[in-house]
Amino acid sequence: MSKNTAKITSNFGESISTQDQFHPKLPGTESGKKLNQIQVIKAKNDEASNNSEPEEKKYQLYHKFLAELLGTTMLLYHCCGAAVFNKDLLYVGVISSSFGVLFLVYCFVNISGAHFNPAVSLPLYLKGALTLKELIFYIIAQVIGAFIGCCFIALSRKGRFEELNATKIQDYLISVNGGEKIDAWCYISCLFTEIFSTFMLDFFIFATSDKKTSMGNVVGLGFGGLLTALIFTGCNISGSSFNPARSLAPAVLQAISGGDTEPIKQIWIYIIGPFTGGVLSYYAWKIFIL
């Protein structure tokens, strides 16, 4: 090889030399102008850059943290508030909660994924959609947001935290089991409801986020519909939480306020149940990945 010639590899993968040669015509050059191959490749790269579509905005971790915090705050105020402000109108509370979640998903899905739920974030971490650092920040944001949302409800009720309607084993389930106190079957029924409902919720997320089965922009409608069905199914059993943050915040605030302490005694159901259902949904979905 002559001293004026060197081999390099272009961004397109071909091996070229820097020795001068004639190139027919490139954008911004005159036909037949003498160019070396480095200039040729540079012109190709410039042309490709000009024709490429603009990249989507890259959200930083603090964007995602704020999205999860704000979204969970609104979720708790809306969902728990719907139950608190419509105690005698079950259908109003359920439908209001479902539509609220639907619109929040559309608001934040492109920023943080719109989890608002530690039992959604954990299985997505197992899938590889989140790093461990992101998982920790997501859960912190969700718990803080849940407490803020509950405080907003209390402000709307003149500071009466005892009216937060924290999730616990429902009186209907106790009466169905033939007694006035909670027995083993009540715990089993409540725990199973939280596990299986969260399993269905997360399985839907895995299924619709897969490229082969993506529902596109209508995924929010499907999610809202499923959530409505799950709430109607479990509301008289476990209170239909499916979300550890959503259960923890009102239970703690009710206990501190001196109100009903039963929810904080049963909080283990609403932590173990949703996390178990979420993890099981991930491993169940792996069976269908080809």
* Range ranked top by mean pLDDT from 10-24, 89-103, 238-252: 238-252
This prediction has a pTM of 0.77
pLDDT confidence bin for 278, thresholds 50/70/90: very high
79 touches 100 (CB < 8 A): yes
| pLDDT at residue number 281 | 95
Scanning the structure block, which residue is given the tokens 């001196």? Answer: 258
| pLDDT at residue number 54 | 47
Residue 39 has pLDDT above 70, yes or no: no
Q: For 56-82, how does the pLDDT look when each residue is reduced to its tens digit (9 = 90+)?
A: 568 899 999 999 999 999 998 887 777
Give percent above pLDDT 70 in the chain: 76
The contacts of residue 104 (CB under 8 Å, 6+ apart) are: 71, 74, 75, 78, 114, 116
- Strand pairing partners for 15? 9
Q: How far apart are CA 41 and CA 177, in angstroms?
A: 77
Least confident range of 33-42, 134-143, 189-198, 269-278:
33-42
182: closest CA among 167, 191, 194, 170?
170
| pLDDT at residue number 12 | 45
Other beta carbons less than 10 A from residue 13's beta carbon: 6
| pLDDT at residue number 134 | 96
Q: How far apart are CA 131 and CA 264, in angstroms?
A: 30
| pLDDT at residue number 21 | 46
Other beta carbons less than 10 A from residue 157's beta carbon: 14
Q: For 112-161, how does the pLDDT look when each residue is reduced to its tens digit (9 = 90+)?
A: 988 999 999 999 999 999 999 999 999 999 999 999 999 998 888 777 77
